[in-house]
Amino acid sequence: MEKEHVTLTQPDGTTLELPILEGSVGPKTFDVTSVYKKTGMFTFDPGFMATASCRSAITFIDGEKGILRYRGYPIEQLAEQSSFLEVAYLLLYSELPSAEQLTEFEYIIGHHTMINESLQMFYRGFRYDAHPMATMVGVVGSLSAFYHDSLDIHDARHREISAHRLIAKMPTIAACSYKRHKGEPFIYPRNDLNYTANFMRMMFATPCEEFEPDPVAAKALDLLFILHADHEQNASTSTVRIAGSSGANPFACISAGIASLWGPAHGGANEAVLNMLDEIGDVSNVDKYIARAKDKSDPFRLMGFGHRVYKNNDPRATIIRKVCYDVLENMPTADSPLFELALKLEEIALKDEYFISHKLYPNVDFYSGIIYRALNIPMNMFTVMFAIARTAGWVAHWMEMIGDPDHRIARPRQLYLGAAERAYVPLDKRG
Ligand code: SDX
């Protein structure tokens, strides 16, 4: 059957047939790789609003229907029945593990959780009040100075070891970033604890007393890690892919991903939501802030609302909102007035014509901070939580890209608006 194509007609009437590429699910694409060679023109799509940057089999999103699937499994089912490490295995290896494979994977990850002792010196170089995301960017990027035995990115086994090390060490590095900020001693990981409980103990235990993670809290955090594990070609994942496309080592690529995630338009939004709710303070102020969010002359945006892809509900926000109820019911420290305020803000915003016409719904970041706060995680660690979870997705995309024999360095072009050619003017001749 003849391949489907779209036809491009140029001003002089000549036409160009662009082949249509079809995936397994979701929108088709038409291949523009030949456009510059055949027309002398570039395509123009700042922000990649309508551009498929790669082929991938990891995560599928349907923004109109509010669908999110990891390797075909709906996020709702994974949230209900899986664990973060099982999801990390699924993202890395494409299939759900057998009981034996999961046990082995949990053992491997558990036995990579320690970090080189000399890395502890790095933390001392940061001001005590450095934002933990700044520490994460620095320390994760420095890991390549320690693991010379697994930096050959063309060796599949090296790629796998680096992926395991990154997934395993992110909680340890994150907890050390928190302890540095608090001025408390670092707590070593323990191999008898599962991934999330181990992290919570490294965060909240001290040499003076043990810390028993509350099972409700550990389960809520594990669920949040599942929901944040991957999300197609978002800004930070695209950053990891672009960094990796030059052949940079995986630790440098993940450090770049952490830096991109930190932005308030992206993963930094969960911290920004809590700052916003704290600033709004009371339901009586909600209308004022919604008016500000609608005012084009005001840079204020309703943090935790809107999404490049979801023009309906973000399925993760729906799940997290439910978890908020459970956490608030079962954890005395939970801040229910804050949750009430968030629910009221959502209710009012979703009735407002501006939010309806702009298809602005709560996203994954709108409620997550309420749960983190209930788990006594400080606000400046909220995006660090996101980074721990998203490392599983980042390394899966990095492995998928490097493992693709057709991958090449990412190097976009531009629409140039600068000066045309002009001659240099010697200093003494300038006006
Ligand atoms: C994440 O991509 C991913 O998958 C990301 C993520 C993941 O898992 O990796 O899902 C995680 O980053 C979630 C998003 C977290 N960010 C926030 O909550 C910050 C607040 N939201 C926005 O800044 C914004 O909605 C974005 C960045 C999320 C999306 O921006 P887009 O797609 O570039 O849309 P836009 O900025 O062009 O906005 C479209 C219109 C504009 O109005 P007009 O100029 O067309 O009239 O909607 C308005 C915007 O002004 N708008 C908002 C708004 N978000 C968009 N107005 C008020 N409040 C908002 N939150």
Instruction: Determine whether 228 is an active site residue.
Output: no
Quote the CA–CA distance of 19 and 296 in Å, as a whole number. 40
Q: Is 307 a residue of the active site?
A: yes
Average pLDDT over all residues of the chain: 94
Pick the catalytic residue from 214, 307, 314, 397. Answer: 307
What angle separates helix 382-402 from helix 215-228, to the nearest 10 degrees?
A: 40
User: pLDDT grade, residue 333 (50/70/90)?
Assistant: low
Global pTM value: 0.95
Give the pLDDT confidence score for residue 51 in this predicted structure. Answer: 97
- 12 pLDDT above the threshold of 80: yes
Mean pLDDT calculated for residue range 218-230: 97
β-bridge mates for residue 62, sequence order: 67
Atom of ligand 1 nearest to the CA of 305: 60
Q: Which band of pLDDT confidence, cut at 50, 70 and 90, is reported for residue 334? A: low
| Dist CA 192 CA 180 (whole Å) | 24
Mutate to test the pocket of ligand 1, among 236, 271, 301 (most ligand atoms within 8 A of CB): 301
What atom of ligand 1 comes closest to residue 364's alpha carbon? 13
| Helix-then-strand count for the chain, H and E | 18, 6
Q: Whose CA is nearest to atom 2 of ligand 1?
A: 234
Residue 305 alpha carbon to ligand 1 centre in Å? 7
Q: Per-residue pLDDT averaged across 195-210, rounded?
A: 95
With beta carbons less than 8 A apart as the criterion, state whether 109 and 164 touch.
yes
**Angle CA(236)–CA(43)–CA(23) in degrees, nearest 5?**
65
Nearest to 303 by CA among 321, 280, 326, 324: 280
How many Å lie between the centroid of ligand 1 and the Cα of residue 370? 20
Within 10 angstroms of residue 83's Cβ, the number of other Cβ atoms is: 19
Q: What is the pLDDT of residues 238-249, one digit of tens each?
A: 999 999 999 999
Q: How far is the CA of 364 from the centre of ligand 1 (A)?
A: 12
Report the atom number in ligand 1 closest to the C-alpha of 307. 28
pLDDT above 90 covers a percentage of the chain that reads: 88
Confidence of residue 336 (pLDDT cuts 50, 70, 90): confident
Per DSSP, 89 falls in state H
Task: Give the position, in ligand 1's atom list, of the atom nearest the Cα of 366.
Answer: 18
Q: Is the pLDDT of residue 156 over 80?
A: yes
Instruction: For 16, list phi and psi in degrees, rounded to 5.
Output: -135, 125
How far apart are the CA of 229 and the centre of ligand 1, in A? 20
CA 278 to each of CA 168, 282, 341, 342, 379: distance values in angstroms, whole numbers, following the listed order = 34, 8, 10, 10, 11
Residues with a CB atom less than 6 Å from ligand 1:
231, 234, 265-267, 269, 293, 301-309, 358, 360, 363-365
Is it the case that residue 304 has pLDDT exceeding 70? yes
Give the pLDDT band (50/70/90) at residue 91: very high
